[in-house]
Amino acid sequence: MSVEPFDAVDVIRIKRDGGTVPDDALRWIVDAYTRGYVADSQMAAFAMAILLNGMERSEIRVLTDAMIASGERMSFASLGKPTVDKHSTGGVGDKITLPLAPLVAAFGVAVPQLSGRGLGHTGGTLDKLESIPGWRAALSNEEMLAQLGDPGAVICAAGSGLAPADKRLYALRDVTGTVEAIPLIASSIMSKKIAEGTDALVLDVKFGSGAFMQDVDRARELARTMVALGEDSGVSTTALLTDMNTPLGLTIGNANEVRESVEVLAGGGPADVVELTVALAREMLALAGQPDADVEAALKDGRAMDVWRAMIRAQDGDPDAALPTPREAHTITAPTAGILSRLDALPFGIAAWRLGAGRARAEDPVLHAAGIDLHVKPGDTVTAGQPLFTLLGHDDSRFERALNALEGAWEIGGQQPPAAPLVLERITA
């Protein structure tokens, strides 16, 4: 039986006392935890020490490298074309991946979009796409590579072989109050993205009431940390800091968000969804060597829609099939005339979750037809009795709890709300 080169308690103490963990000790504790030698209780103590005392940039880089080294690394070199991926830190109504991946692929750039499922108030891209009859999230590496060749875009679940250390640590953070640690968030996201093998990466880091990082300064710190990790690993990386105080678009849920995404691909859709899709597509194409690509034209002339349809079919989905519809609906109307001055993202995310659009535990199913359709956005003028939003579900017994979540979440006043840019800033290395 081989002797371990370090003791977990010694490594925990270094970080507990605010020190810098040596590179080899950091690599060891990640490997030993993945092997099961370091106990959950010890890794929980280490994660809490990181939350409280932070990490140097060099430590975060080594932590990320160790998590990548715990599993396989993919390569898309055989494709013979650039690859660029996008990651969003998640929000309410954030369906941008759906129109974005086929839009970028329409320019001959491969988009390997490894996506996740929703938990709590933030939706999951895979849950949305599973509203489409027949569509499947699980692909082999060979299927993924073939689809990146033609039609050029794939949205699928990450295989279990990518950064297995992250999978263990992510589950532990969830139950030990250490989810918010920026070094752990950054290494979790970037270990999977770097192991995936993409040439370039654009990050959509959200701030505001419906975001994981509500404080803009912490969102900026996270964005800078992840951009640095990407660049240190040879992946060209930029980030956009985007507003998530108000839900994105006019739909929150799964099937209804797919419908809205298809509207965008057809040259329509809500202005904010189009704006963010175009902004992220420009970033991705610039990193792939096409800074002058006419992104709007590809939405209007049907090229992006053609890729979408081929991408859905390649994963056994039927792009022409009817999407699930709710059995019950409940519409809230304006009690007075005025201007909708506020619509807070977080309560609307929670309400959609309570209607069945999200899950409380990883193993819970979602109701694809459940969610909320918005009829107005902040700044819109409303008349008394005008529909504001509609709750959607299969079971009207859920409506009361959803409505409870929405108490105080919106406001009608006499003045226009202050204008806030959707994209606050661009962060580069």
Q: SS3 letters for 370-407?
A: CEEEECCCCCCEECCCCEEEEEEECCHHHHHHHHHHCC
Task: Count structural domains, the chain.
Answer: 2
Give the structural domain span for 96: 77-159+189-321
Cβ burial of 353 (10 Å; 0-12, 13-18, 19+) is: buried
Residue 81 placed within a domain: yes
Residue 226 placed within a domain: yes
| Domain shared by 376 and 278, yes or no | no
Q: So what's the pLDDT on residue 158? A: 84
| Domain shared by 117 and 226, yes or no | yes
| Domain shared by 358 and 251, yes or no | no
CA gap 280, 80 in Å, rounded: 23
Residue 23 placed within a domain: no
Residue 67 placed within a domain: no
| Domain shared by 298 and 255, yes or no | yes
Query: Which of these three, 321, 346, 375, is where a domain ends?
Result: 321
Residue 179 placed within a domain: no
Which one-letter amino acid corresponds to residue 299? L
Query: Which of these three, 262, 287, 321, is where a domain ends?
Result: 321
| Domain shared by 262 and 370, yes or no | no
Do residues 376 and 382 touch, judged by C-beta distance below 8 A?
A: yes
CA gap 61, 72 in Å, rounded: 18
pTM of the model: 0.95
Q: Which residues of the chain have pLDDT under 50?
A: none
Query: Which of these three, 273, 294, 321, is where a domain ends?
Result: 321
| Domain shared by 352 and 309, yes or no | no
Do residues 362 and 117 touch, judged by C-beta distance below 8 A?
A: yes
Q: So what's the pLDDT on residue 208? A: 96
| Domain shared by 269 and 294, yes or no | yes
Give the model confidence (pLDDT) of 413-428 as tens digits. Answer: 989 999 899 999 999 9
| Domain shared by 236 and 354, yes or no | no
Residue 428 placed within a domain: no
Which one-letter amino acid corresponds to residue 379? G
The Cα-based distances of 132 to 146, 257, 319, 326, 412 in angstroms read 21, 11, 7, 15, 36
Neighbours of 335 (CB within 10 A): 11
Identify the CATH number of the domain in which residue 341 sits. 3.90.1170.30
Residue 40 placed within a domain: no
Q: So what's the pLDDT on residue 288? A: 97
In b/e form, how buried is each residue of 93-120, taking b as 16+ CB within 10 angstroms?
A: bbbbbbbbbbbbbbbebbbbbbbbbbbe
| Domain shared by 203 and 275, yes or no | yes
Taking CB atoms within 8 Å and a gap of at least 24, the contacts of 67-70 are 67/30, 67/163, 67/165, 67/166, 67/169, 67/187, 67/188, 67/191, 68/163, 68/191, 68/194, 68/195, 69/27, 69/30, 69/31, 70/30, 70/31, 70/34, 70/163, 70/164, 70/165, 70/166
Residue 379 placed within a domain: yes
DSSP single-letter state for residue 355: I
- Tokens for 319, please give them: 């792009």
Cβ burial of 323 (10 Å; 0-12, 13-18, 19+) is: middle
| Domain shared by 139 and 124, yes or no | yes
Give the model confidence (pLDDT) of 46-74 as tens digits. Answer: 999 999 999 999 999 999 999 999 999 99
DSSP single-letter state for residue 85: E
Q: So what's the pLDDT on residue 119? A: 67
Query: Which residues form the catalytic set?
Result: 87, 166, 173, 188, 192
The Cα-based distances of 304 to 28, 248, 263 in angstroms read 46, 21, 12
| Domain shared by 256 and 107, yes or no | yes
Structural element, H or E, at residue 203: strand 200-207
Identify the CATH number of the domain in which residue 93 sits. 3.40.1030.10
CA gap 87, 90 in Å, rounded: 9
CA gap 403, 391 in Å, rounded: 9
Neighbours of 71 (CB within 10 A): 21
Q: Where are the alpha helices (DSSP H) in 121-270?
A: 125-129, 141-149, 164-176, 182-196, 216-232, 255-265
In b/e form, how buried is each residue of 365-401, taking b as 16+ CB within 10 angstroms?
A: ebbbbbbbbbbbebebebeeeeebbbbbbbeeebbee
| Domain shared by 334 and 313, yes or no | no
Q: What's the N-to-C CA distance of the chain in angstroms?
A: 45
